[in-house]
Amino acid sequence: MSDKVRRNPRLRPAAALGIAVSGGLLAAGSAVAASVSQLQNQLNATKSQLNSNQGQQKTLSGSIAAINSQVSSLTGQITLVSSREAAAQAQLGQYDTALSEDRAALTLEQVRMRLLKRELRRARRALSAELVSQYEQPAQTFVSLVIDANGFNQLLSQIQYMDNAKQSEKQIIRLTLTASLKARTAEARIRKLEAADMVAAQDATTQADALSGMNALLASRQAALNDARAAQATALAASQSKGAALQQAIKQIQQQQQAAIQAAKTISVSSSGNGSGGSGSGGGASGSGGASLGSSAGWAIPYPIVLCESGGQDLPPNSAGASGYYQIIPSTWSQFGGSGPAAYLAPKSEQDAVAARIWNGGAGASNWTCSRIVGIS
C-alpha cells in the first residue's frame, strides 16, 4: 500500500475497490483469452478439415477428368469399330448377293446342260439308227438313184434330201458337243466362283462377329466407366457439400473470434481506465496490472493479434505447425533467427525477439492471419 493511502484513510476503500475491479477485469480477460484460444484451436482444426476436404475434391475432380478422357477415347473406338462392323456387314451382304446370283446361274447352266445332253442323246440315237440302216441296206449308188427315180426332178430331190439329212445330223452333233462343252465349262467356272464366294462370305462373317464382340466389350467397359464416373461425381458432390458446411463453420468461428477480441479490447480499455482512476503510486500499480493485457505489456506485436492467435498462451504446434505465443511456423521461426525446431520450445523472450523482427513495425503484419481479423496492420 502506498504512503498516500496510509495518510488518507478515505482512499483505502477506493484503492481496494480499484484492486477488486482490476482483479475482476483480469479474470474476465483471462476467460476471454481462454475462449479466444479455444476458438483458435477450433478454427485451426476446422481449416485443417477444410484443406483435407479441398484436397479430396481435387483428387475426385482429377479422377472424374481422367474417366471423362477414357470415356471419350472409348467412344471414338466404339464409333470406329461400329463403322468397320457396318462395312463388314455390307460386304457380307454383297457376298451373299453374289453367291445367290452364282447359284442361280449355276442352276440355269445345269438345266441348259441337261437339255443339251438330251438333244445329244437323241441325235446320237438318230445317227446310230442311220448308221445301222446304212449297214443293213446296200449303199445306194448314183446309178440306182437314177434308175429308181421317176424323173429328173425326183432324182434331184432325193439327192438333195440325203445330203441335207447328213449335213443336218452332222450340225446337230457338232452343236450338241459344243454346247455340252460350254455347259461343262460354265458349270466348272460357276462352281469355282461359288466356292470363292462362300470362303469370302465366311471370312466376312467371322470378321463381323469379331467386330461385334469387340464392340460389345467396349460398350461394357464404357458402361463401367460411366458407373465409376457417377460414383465419383456423387462423392464429389458430397465433398463439396461438406466443404461448404466447413466454410460456414469457419465463418461462424471467425465471427465468434471477432466478438471475443472485441470483448478483450473492451476489457483492456476498462482495465486501463480503472488503473488511471486512482492517484499516486497506487494508481500506477493498478494501471500496470491492467496494462498487462495491452500491446505494451511485454508483447512484441499488438495484443489483440496475440489474443486471436494464441489467447496469450504458449501453444504447441497446430495442424499447420504454428506454435508458441505468436503462432509462428517452423520455417518462419528459423528464417527470422529462432533457435530450436519450433517456437513453443523457446523462452518467451526469444519468441518476443523473433516476433518483433517479423512484425517490423507493422510491415510484416500479413504474416498473421488474425491481423486482418482484428483490423490491425
Q: For position 20, what pLDDT does the model report?
A: 42
Same-domain status, 155 and 175 = yes
Domain end residue (candidates: 207, 240, 273): 240
| Whether the predicted pLDDT of 115 surpasses 90 | no
Residue holding cell 446320237? 124
Range among 212-226, 289-303, 334-348 with highest mean pLDDT value: 334-348
pLDDT of res. 62: 92
Please identify which residue in the block is written with the cell numbers 460414383.
231
pLDDT digits (tens, 9 = 90+) for 289-334: 333 334 446 899 999 999 898 989 999 999 889 999 999 999 999 9
With respect to residue 207, please indicate whether it lies within any of the assigned structural domains. Answer: yes
Residues 95 and 204 in one domain: yes
State pLDDT tens for residues 10-49.
Answer: 434 434 434 443 444 445 555 666 666 677 788 888 888 8
Contact 357, 336 (CB under 8 A): yes
Domain count, the chain: 2
Angle at alpha carbon of residue 190, lines to 185 and 196, rounded to 5°: 130
Judge if 22 and 115 occupy the same domain.
no
Task: Based on the fold, state whether residues 235 and 324 are members of the same structural domain.
Answer: no
* 263: in domain: yes
Q: Residue 356's pLDDT is what?
A: 96
Q: Which of the residue ranges 69-78, 183-192, 222-231, 341-350 would you say has the lowest mean pLDDT? A: 183-192
Query: What pLDDT was estimated at residue 296?
Result: 41
Q: Is the pLDDT of residue 191 over 50?
A: yes
The reply to whether 78 falls in a domain is no
Query: Are 260 and 344 members of one domain?
Result: yes
Contact 59/228 with Cβ under 8 angstroms? no
- Mean pLDDT of all residues in 134-160: 63
221 and 252 assigned to the same domain = no
- Distance separating alpha carbons of residues 376 and 349, to the nearest angstrom: 23
Say yes or no to pLDDT of 174 above 80.
no
Q: What is the pLDDT of residue 2?
A: 42
Query: In this structure, are 111 and 224 located in the same domain?
Result: yes
Minimum mean pLDDT range among 22-26, 202-206, 357-361: 22-26
- 338 pLDDT more than 80: yes
Most confident of 31-40, 198-207, 235-244: 235-244
Question: What is the structure's pLDDT at 301?
Answer: 96
**% of the chain beyond a pLDDT of 90:** 24
Which has the closest alpha carbon to 61: 269, 239, 209, 200?
239
For residue 285, pLDDT over 50 is answered with no
What are the residues facing 323 on neighbouring strands?
Answer: 328
Residue 137 lies in a domain: yes
**Does 95 share its domain with 229?**
yes
Q: Which domain holds residue 331?
A: 15-68+245-374
Contact residues for 191 (Cβ-Cβ < 8 A; gap 6+) = 106
Residue pair 48/175 in contact (Cβ under 8 Å)? The answer is no
Identify the pLDDT of residue 284.
33
pLDDT score for 138: 56
Angle among Cα 346, 349, 350 to the nearest 5 degrees reads: 50
In angstroms, how far apart are the furthest CA atoms of the chain?
A: 200
User: Are 135 and 236 members of one domain?
Assistant: yes
State the pLDDT confidence band at 283, using cuts at 50, 70 and 90: very low
Is residue 146 situated within a structural domain? yes
Q: Is residue 83 part of a domain?
A: no
Residue 340 has what pLDDT?
A: 94
Domain boundary among 240, 266, 290: 240
The pLDDT, as a whole number, for residue 19 is: 42
**Using CA of residue 157, residue 163, residue 166, residue 169, what is the dihedral sign?**
negative
DSSP 376: -
Q: Same structural domain for residues 231 and 257?
A: no
Q: Which of the two residues, 12 and 255, has the higher pLDDT score?
A: 255
- Is residue 51 in some structural domain? yes
Q: List, for residues 54-73, the tens digit of each pLDDT value.
A: 888 989 999 899 999 998 88
| Residues paired with 328 in a beta bridge | 323
pLDDT at 182 over 70: yes
- Same domain? For 182 and 98 the reply is yes
Lowest mean pLDDT among 1-15, 152-166, 171-185: 1-15
- Asked if residues 271 and 262 have their Cβ atoms less than 8 Å apart, the reply is no
Mean pLDDT (the chain, rounded): 77
Task: Answer with the one of 240, 260, 294 that is the final residue of a domain.
Answer: 240
Q: Which residues contact 47 (CB under 8 A, 6 or more apart)?
A: 250, 319, 320
Work out the average pLDDT over 341-354: 96
Does 136 lie in the same domain as 255?
no
For residue 79, is it within any domain? Answer: no
How many residues are recorded in the chain? 377
Does the pTM surpass 0.75? The reply is no
